[in-house]
Amino acid sequence: MVKLTGQSPDAVRGWAWDDVVHLLAYCDLEADELRAGRPQTGAGSGGHEVTTVFRKRPKR
């Protein structure tokens, strides 16, 4: 998150988990859109599917 947002680690630690999960999910959707726009090459490249799951854990 720190590299993604450019904010300090202390600032990122203070974020609500919902905000972090939302940002990660949004980035994953953007990455999927970029991958979908690329032409696929090779015979074995069409059968690959990735599912990303973000789990929310309670603050300690």
Looking at residue 58, its pLDDT comes to: 64
> Tens digits of per-residue pLDDT, 3-59?
777 888 888 888 898 888 888 888 888 888 888 876 655 555 556 677 777 666 666
Cα–Cα distance list, 13 to 2, 8, 28, 50, 58 (Å): 9, 9, 21, 28, 13
Q: Going by C-beta distance under 8 Å and a sequence separation of 6 or more, which residues neighbour residue 7?
A: 1
